[in-house]
Chains A and B, each alone.
Chain A
Amino acid sequence: MKLKENISKYIFLTLAFSSISALALITVFIIINGVPIIAEVGIINFIFGMSWAPSHGEYGIFPMIIGSVTVTLGAAVLGVPIGVCCAIFLTEFAPPTLSKLFRPAIQLLAGIPSVVYGFWGLLFIVPFIRNFFGGPGLSILAGSVILAIMVLPTVISITEVSILALPKQYREGALALGMTHWQTIRSVILPSAKSGIVAAVILGIGRAIGETMAVIMVLGNAVAVPESILDPVRTLTTNIGIEMGYASGTHRQALFATGIVLFIIIMVLNATAQYITRKKK
């Protein structure tokens, strides 16, 4: 009995250890490949440099940081309110039959390959924006719309879980006080589910900022600081995705360095989300 327990313990330990070490190896690999070029160019020049011209040895990723930030912010502005409202609808208003239908549908949304989203965006969103708002259509707005749809499953399901996890006494206590359903949602349910919702939003943003394939087709990928949401941009991820195929030498290193920046942003976002959810308990 004891032996059996010990054996399974070591098997699990090995498995856990190997997945962690895979992660560590990737991190180390990215850092080894990326750090030298940052050191060579200078961290300030790398991050705040306006010009990205690998053939001239110019490696400034500021336009792409702006690209990533704007596209992601746009996705958050569009996707978060819709996602949170969906979750409220599902937990508070939808008849059970409807939410039983809705939930798998949302999960399905999460299962669609991102390249399909990109393709769909290129065929429908981009022409729509070009016709109704002007500009090339390939734009921040197009990317934000696609990403907003893609983060919906994350935002909806985490928000839903955090609302459902509330003790039922909150609800009953509020209703017994003579609150209406809306008042209960506004002054009891939402405030107490707040940390879960914030975590949902941050994880959604993390997902959006790391997305590559879906946005590569609809952003236009121009390396320039955009002036409006109808301008094309390039994000950190698409920069790597586009150039990795043919890059070599310092150019390749600069792409790894782009990865480091992305990596740090996502780590910070996830750590924040974890910190917020943990603080709750």
Chain B
Amino acid sequence: MSEHVKIKIEDLNIFFEKKQVVHGLTLDVRANEILSIFGPAGSGITTLLRSLNRLNELIPTSRIEGSILLDDKSIYDSDVSLTELRRKVGMVFDVPTPLPMSIFDNIAYGPRLKGEKNRKVLGEIVEKALQEAALWDEVKNRLKASALSLSGGQQQRLCIARVLALDPDVILLDRPCSGLDPISTSKIEDSLTQLKDRFTIILAPHNTQQAGRVSNRVAFMLMGELIEEGFSDDVFYNPKDHRTNDYITGRFG
């Protein structure tokens, strides 16, 4: 983790029609850290992540206020290219989103969009990404098969591999381990801790234990508000806010 602020979120408000889902949220994400944002269901974590690659805009009823800076530049500036932003800020959704094409093409799509044509290079990128997503051994003999033929957990790891192959600056992971068995989960967690040398990772963890295992820093959200943030150990062992304490000790949520 470095001191460089990769993403600076200031006074962010997000609405769906009249309903406010994120309330005045201010948060710095530092380069090459793993930041876990956790909280009870419906806290607005997915919504927050989807605002960082401007995917919320697909929902016509959504409205956003405040500022989000990526490397000191607002992602809402008029000269920002949406496609470039989304290649810089990759995302894994909380449900698998394989594209209806082969396993290989799913992963090679991103690099191809960036202009990589050489089949050998693409093959290497695909293999490396699949290794890092702990999927290579299961699919290495069927790269031409449709991605839709994979199991749910495999599809989810495929999506992780796809984001890695895109080689973004920032990776948003929305519950990337939902639907994964404990072994794949721990493989993914191992990968994540290594990957933070190359990426800045924002994680909506599966549970607080996972947040504790993999993250440098954590942030606790409740009903659209940021309650507390800090180094994992501080927040988990010495929470400043009693609501954080209640949540961690399982008294609600």
When distances are taken between beta carbons in the complex, the residues of chain A under 8 Å from B86 are: 175-178
CB distance from B153 to the nearest CB of A (A): 16
Partner of B98 from A173, A175, A183, A191 at Cβ < 8 Å: A173
CB distance from B149 to the nearest CB of A (A): 14
When distances are taken between beta carbons in the complex, the residues of chain B under 8 Å from A187 are: 99, 101, 109
Q: Taking A172-B55, A172-B58, A172-B93 as contacts, is the C-beta distance between A177 and B98 under 8 angstroms?
A: no
CB distance from A171 to the nearest CB of B (A): 8
Interface centre among A96, A173, A177, A180 (most CB of B within 10 A): A177
When distances are taken between beta carbons in the complex, the residues of chain B under 8 Å from A172 are: 55, 58, 93, 97
Partner of A178 from B87, B96, B97 at Cβ < 8 Å: B87
Partner of A169 from B60, B93, B110 at Cβ < 8 Å: B93
Q: Does A229 contact B (CB under 8 A)?
A: no
Q: Does B166 contact A (CB under 8 A)?
A: yes
Q: Is the interface of B mostly helix, strand, loop or mixed?
A: mixed
Q: Nearest residue in B to A169 (C-beta to C-beta)?
A: B97
When distances are taken between beta carbons in the complex, the residues of chain A under 8 Å from B159 are: 173
A176–B100 CB distance below 8 A: no
With A and B bound together, what is the CA distance between A178 and B166 in angstroms?
Answer: 9
Q: Which residues between 177 and 217 of chain A lie within 8 Å of chain B, taking CB atoms?
A: 177-180, 183, 187-188, 191-192
Q: Count residues of chain B with CB under 8 A from any CB of chain A.
A: 24
A170–B83 CB distance below 8 A: no
Partner of B95 from A169, A175, A188 at Cβ < 8 Å: A169
With A and B bound together, what is the CA distance between A190 and B55 in angstroms?
Answer: 21
When distances are taken between beta carbons in the complex, the residues of chain A under 8 Å from B100 are: 170, 188, 191-192
Q: Taking A169-B95, A191-B101 as contacts, is the C-beta distance between A178 and B84 under 8 angstroms?
A: yes
When distances are taken between beta carbons in the complex, the residues of chain B under 8 Å from A175 are: 55, 58, 86
Q: Does A261 contact B (CB under 8 A)?
A: no
CB distance from B219 to the nearest CB of A (A): 22
Q: Which residues between 219 and 241 of chain A lie within 8 Å of chain B, taking CB atoms?
A: none
Q: Does A41 contact B (CB under 8 A)?
A: no
Q: Does A174 contact B (CB under 8 A)?
A: yes
With A and B bound together, what is the CA distance between A192 and B97 in angstroms?
Answer: 13
When distances are taken between beta carbons in the complex, the residues of chain A under 8 Å from B97 are: 169-170, 172-173, 176
Q: Which residues between 81 and 115 of chain B lie within 8 Å of chain A, taking CB atoms?
A: 83-84, 86-87, 90-91, 93, 95-101, 109-110, 113
When distances are taken between beta carbons in the complex, the residues of chain B under 8 Å from A177 are: 86-87, 90, 109-110, 113, 162, 166
Q: Mark B51-64, 1 if CB is under 8 A from A, else 0.
A: 00101001010000
Q: Which residues between 158 and 177 of chain A lie within 8 Å of chain B, taking CB atoms?
A: 169-177
CB distance from B91 to the nearest CB of A (A): 5
When distances are taken between beta carbons in the complex, the residues of chain A under 8 Å from B113 are: 177-179, 183
With A and B bound together, what is the CA distance between A219 and B151 in angstroms?
Answer: 55
When distances are taken between beta carbons in the complex, the residues of chain A under 8 Å from B98 are: 173
Interface centre among A96, A172, A173, A183 (most CB of B within 10 A): A173
With A and B bound together, what is the CA distance between A96 and B162 in angstroms?
Answer: 33
Q: Nearest residue in A to B92 (C-beta to C-beta)?
A: A176
When distances are taken between beta carbons in the complex, the residues of chain B under 8 Å from A183 are: 113
10 A–B contacts, CB within 8 A, in A order: A171-B58, A173-B97, A177-B109, A177-B110, A177-B162, A177-B166, A179-B113, A188-B99, A188-B100, A191-B101
Residues of B at the A interface (CB closer than 8 Å) are 53, 55, 58, 60, 83-84, 86-87, 90-91, 93, 95-101, 109-110, 113, 159, 162, 166
